[in-house]
Amino acid sequence: MNYNKKSIEDIDVSGKRVLCRCDFNVPTKNGVITSDKRIVAAMPTIEYLVNHNARVILCSHMGKPKNGPAPEFSLAVVAKRISELLGKEVVMAADVAGADAKAKAAALKDGDVMLLENTRFEKGETKNDPELSKALASMADIFVNDAFGSAHRAHASTAGVADYLPAVCGYLVQKEVSIMGKALANPERPFVAILGGAKVADKLNVINNLLEKVDTLIIGGGMAYTFAAAKGYSVGKSLLDETKIDYCKDMMAKAEAKGVKLLLPIDVVIASSFPSPIDGPVETATVAIDAIPDDMEGLDIGPKTAELFADAVRSAKTVVWNGPMGVFENPTLAKGTIAMAQALADSDATTIVGGGDSAAACEQLGFADKITHISTGGGASLEFLEGKELPGIACLQDK
């Protein structure tokens, strides 16, 4: 995949109607936005378009409405928040690509901003329906994709419209593609990747792809126990995917053949059961990876493992991290994940954290400003690491 894509700065937007796909999939409670982080992240692109006299038509999905329009999934609350941040009115359309949206788009003047209703109110959105793509494209002259979190989906508003309009990226997508693209295509070495999280199955292709690129691959979290089982260790009640034991053996053999260091936990924090509630008290012990009792389960990496992993990060020039080292929602079982976040924060390397739980961990711990890049898309960043082509990026014009 070509990572060198045209951006809003490579195209004349003045006086043009610009359809800009953002990620406004924000959490709400009782009709109030509980975190506007994604809206704030989109503002540099919106402000650039406004300041360069574009006629801006914003669009996004929010939540998963099942049966067409539903008031609790309306983007009206988002329009209100953008109006506050922008200091000017954002006109809200009553539909996605119907009569109201088209009339309001046609009435826009230079520097005006409007927001279409939730794209998933249209059944054709997730099916990448050409008729919906055409209807959206008919309102605009240029398409801008700034929603990296949805770039791995071939939907009408993320990829389909690019069949009918010149397509470029906004600042958010540009940053994701340039930083992550460079890390995968041409990393400064040593290149270390850290994978955590629960399931080996989720990361099969990621492990395989990264072994072609990295100098060291670190595996923690729940999926480390399937690797431990592949080494012949008993893992007690720990998470185990027995169907993937042979795969783990293959990956260990591949790492050895390629001269890639594959680091696995050497000690783990165990408990008799998964904490319930998740943040409730839990009695733990720390044992070597090959000494987990049958009635116990591993729920975090141990201190020796944390030091081993942190040591690999210290000597790295590029680090990519995706997935926590344990049940980090519980303070007692968060130490391994905190140690990883700390190691990345202290590093002089280019550090990239791929969405989801590891991003949340860095933000909660106050390390976000010490990380080179925290991805805005969990699923998208994972597919990026797999080496997959992302439809919402592939459709953009190359520089």
* 71 three-state secondary structure: helix
The identity of residue 296, as a single letter, is M
Two tokens, residue 387 = 């080496």
Cβ proximity of 254 and 230 under 8 Å: no
What residues act catalytically? 38, 199, 356, 379
For 102, 127, 244, 273, the CA distances from 20, given in Å and listed in that order, are 15, 20, 42, 47
Residue type at position 368: A
Contacts of 232 (CB under 8 A, 6+ apart): none
Cα–Cα nearest to 378, from 319, 322, 318: 322
345 vs 299: CA distance, rounded Å: 23
The H or E element spanning position 80 is helix 76-86
Q: Which helix (H) or strand (E) holds 23?
A: none
DSSP 390: P
Q: Tokens for 237, please give them.
A: 């009640």
SS (H, E, C) 158-182: CCHHHHCCCEEECHHHHHHHHHHHH
Cα gap 20→142, rounded to integer Å: 8
Question: What would the two tokens of residue 338 be?
Answer: 């905190």
3-state secondary structure of 57: strand
DSSP string, 182-222: HHHHS--SSEEEEE-SS-HHHHHHHHHHHTTT-SEEEE-ST
Tokens of 242: 């027995």
Phi, psi of 116 (to 5 degrees): -75, 160
CA–CA separation, 63 vs 25, rounded Å?
Answer: 6
Q: Which residues pair with 353 in a beta bridge?
A: 321, 374
Report the distance separating Cα 94 and Cα 115, nearest Å. 9
